[in-house]
Amino acid sequence: MQFVLVIYHGSFPLPGTPQAESVTEEQRQSVYADFAALGRRENVKAGPPLGLPADATTVRVVDGSTVTADGPFRGVENAIGGYAVVEADDLAAAVEIAASIPQARMGGAVEVRPSEKYW
């Protein structure tokens, strides 16, 4: 089965921000090691790196007019930090992979959704 893992950064400091200076070298190396291990898995395909949430532009169409707003749709703390597509036997196997993503244990979350075709 195919699942999409949606990664939310949550309260863990975003790379490239002043708050990231509070992350210890040990924490940083642990995060890098976890993502490297994830990248070596043949059944996981990570999406491309996303820019910082503050650099996002949210687009809506209201009464036929395009309206834009600076920043992510749900605020920085609830912004999507990335995603991955996973081939797994079942939901339990996909959850196990999601649990290995650093944000799941460092103030964020990983949402696991089955991939579906609706059309």
Q: Would 35 be classed as within a structural domain?
A: yes
The answer as to whether 119 is a domain residue is no
In a domain, 75, yes or no: yes
Q: pTM of the full predicted structure? A: 0.85
Q: How far is CA 118 from CA 1, 98, 115, in A?
A: 16, 24, 10
Torsions phi, psi for 104 (to 5 deg): -65, -25
Element (H, E) at 27: helix 25-40
77: CATH: 3.30.70.1060
Q: How far apart are CA 47 and CA 86, in angstroms?
A: 11
| Domain-located, residue 28 | yes
Residue 106 has phi, psi (to 5 degrees) of -120, 45
Could you tell me the residue range of the domain that residue 27 belongs to?
A: 2-114
Return the pLDDT at 90: 98
Task: Tell me how many domains the chain contains.
Answer: 1
Question: Is residue 110 one of the residues assigned to a domain?
Answer: yes
Reading the chain (119 residues) residue by residue, the pLDDT tens digits are 999 999 998 888 887 788 888 889 999 899 899 999 999 999 999 999 888 888 999 999 999 999 999 988 887 778 898 999 999 999 999 999 999 999 999 889 999 999 988 87
pLDDT of residue 82: 92
> 83 near 5, Cβ under 8 Å?
yes
Provide the β-strand partners of residue 65.
Answer: 62
